[in-house]
Copies of this chain bind each other. A is one copy, B any other.
Amino acid sequence: MRNLRFTISYDGTAYSGFQIQPQSDTIQYRLEKAVWMLTGETVKVISSGRTDAGVHAKAQVINFTTNSQIPVERWCLALNARLPKDIVAHTAEEVLPSFHARKAAKRKTYCYTIRTARFPDVFHRSYEYHHPTPLNVEAMREALPCLIGEHDFTSFCTVRTDKEVKVRTLYEARLETESDGFLDSGSIDRLRFFVSGNGFLYNMVRIMVGTLIQIGEGKRPSSDMQRILEAKDRALAGPTAEAKGLTMWKVDY
């Protein structure tokens, strides 16, 4: 058996998330179907982490084992020909039998994009959350340092979860601004929240973003982030931000 590792990207708009579920169209289902169409094998695709319904991936990492002797350099083209247009394999390599895309992941990075211009950008409308009024970026940035390091992130985890240990380590949390540089040059049209850690709880990034947006709107002080973190109570944090703004950005091994 060979163990193959791929970098894939997907537009999650049309899918019920990564993980296979009955009567649902999922990324995992489409990948396993493509492998079956190519090799006749039923494989189990392992990802670095599941993404929710509507969440995208720029460079998700997956692996599966196969008996196929197709040379590794032909796999991406062969899979892409059997995948829908919104799922694309970019790189393929043969790895040691012990490699496991989730267990071996050292650092995952997500990006949440908020468009803050008055009107949506038609070309990115499926990949960013539209907040039609400006946000206080400095206040949002002040709320970020307390998140770095090892913490119990219970407050930023949906109550619908089976994970008992809620301790994770964040390595980086930063907010970047972008301008369209076009219709109103100089104005901030888009915020990108990049967050890296050793792992993320269910809805963790989206609940952080929901809280950050309330801070940016002036509905809460920046200091609320630390207060919420320490309380270990989901009810104190902000709402779960819309899935379409979230993209799994990259995974380091």
Contact = CB atoms under 8 A, between A and B. Distances in A.
Interface of A: 7, 9-11, 56, 58-59, 76, 80, 85-91, 118-125, 127, 182-183, 250
Contacts of A9: 121-123
Contacts of A250: 182
A211 B183 CA distance: 32
Contacts of A86: 122, 125
A60 to B, nearest CB: 11
Given A59-B183, A183-B59, A88 B120 contact: yes
Centre residue among A118, A121, A123 by max chain B CB count within 10 A = A123
Main secondary structure of the interface of A (DSSP, over half): mixed
A186 B190 CA distance: 26
A88 B189 CA distance: 15
Contact of A183 (B7, B122, B127): B7
A26 to B, nearest CB: 16
Nearest to A127: B123
A51 B129 CA distance: 28
Contacts of A124: 123
Contacts of A10: 122
Given A9-B122, A11-B122, A80-B119, 16 more contacts: A7-B183, A9-B121, A9-B123, A11-B123, A56-B123, A58-B123, A58-B182, A85-B125, A86-B122, A87-B122, A88-B119, A88-B120, A90-B118, A90-B183, A123-B124, A123-B127
A123 B125 CA distance: 10
A86 B127 CA distance: 13
Contacts of A7: 183
Centre residue among A9, A10, A85 by max chain B CB count within 10 A = A9
Centre residue among A76, A85, A119 by max chain B CB count within 10 A = A119
B182 A59 contact: yes
A183 B91 contact: yes
Contact of A85 (B59, B120, B127): B120
Given A182-B250, A250-B182, A89 B119 contact: yes
A244 to B, nearest CB: 12
